[in-house]
Amino acid sequence: MNRRAAIVTLISAAAGLCSNAEAAELGPKQLGLLILRVLAYDRNLKARSDGKTASIVVLFQEGNQASESLQIDMENALEDLSSGAIISGLAVKVTSYAYANPAALDARLASLRAVAVFVCSGLGDAIPNISTVARKRSVLSFTLNTAFVKSGLSIGFANADDRVHIVVNLPATRAEGVDLDASLLRIADLYR
């Protein structure tokens, strides 16, 4: 099976976890699976890591109930899905972090040598700062909020027309040091 067929199959399988009745909401398990699948198609993943671990940070706003709830759900889903998983020869590690300010985020991402950050709801005002830090640290940014993608994060997910749409901000991915396989880009909605 060629890479394009493989990515379409993997993403379709992830989308298939969500029935048509659930089309209005993309759950944590589906999001986690999509994040792991997208990471597998980053040709620079190993170079952006510490060489042993693909560290994913779930970033949330402390005190924001929706953000904290999404953080718990995403951390649990990613930990369950990545238990024993190897992506590009790297073991997956998941950590949550409450956003405080750009300097603290920068220090946290640097110490973890993170390869990805999932940005929860409640952080809209901080997106420019989060984007700047993600670019500085070569960390691929994911979100469920496609408006955050237009504001500078790299990859968002949305359910529409009974299927999952992957929204990719190409300038942001390049600025974050990510090299996504063309087979993924062909099936994504691109924001240039």
Alpha-carbon distance of 46 to 89, in angstroms, equals 8
Kindly tell me if the per-residue pLDDT of 104 is higher than 80: yes
pLDDT digits (tens, 9 = 90+) for 58-73: 999 999 999 999 999 9
pLDDT digits (tens, 9 = 90+) for 73-91: 999 999 999 998 999 999 9
Check: CB of residue 189 under 8 Å from CB of residue 166: yes
| H or E, element range at 134 | helix 127-136
This prediction's pTM = 0.87
Alpha carbon separation from 11 to 3, 40, 64, 94, 130 (Å, rounded): 12, 12, 31, 21, 27
pLDDT at position 80:
96
* DSSP-derived secondary structure letter, 166: E
Check: CB of residue 15 under 8 Å from CB of residue 157: no
Q: Which of 167, 157, 132, 138 is nearest to 32 (CA)?
A: 157
pLDDT at position 164:
86
pLDDT at position 22:
37
pLDDT at position 160:
80
Average pLDDT of 39-50? 96
Kindly tell me if the per-residue pLDDT of 30 is higher than 80: yes
Average pLDDT of 168-177? 97
pLDDT at position 158:
87
pLDDT digits (tens, 9 = 90+) for 112-155: 999 999 999 999 999 999 999 999 999 999 999 999 999 999 99
155-160/140-143 β-pairing: parallel
How is the chain split among helix, strand and coil, in percent rounded to 5? Answer: 50, 25, 30
Alpha-carbon distance of 32 to 18, in angstroms, equals 13
Sign, Cα dihedral of 12, 13, 19, 23: negative
Split at pLDDT 50, 70, 90, the class of 184 is: very high
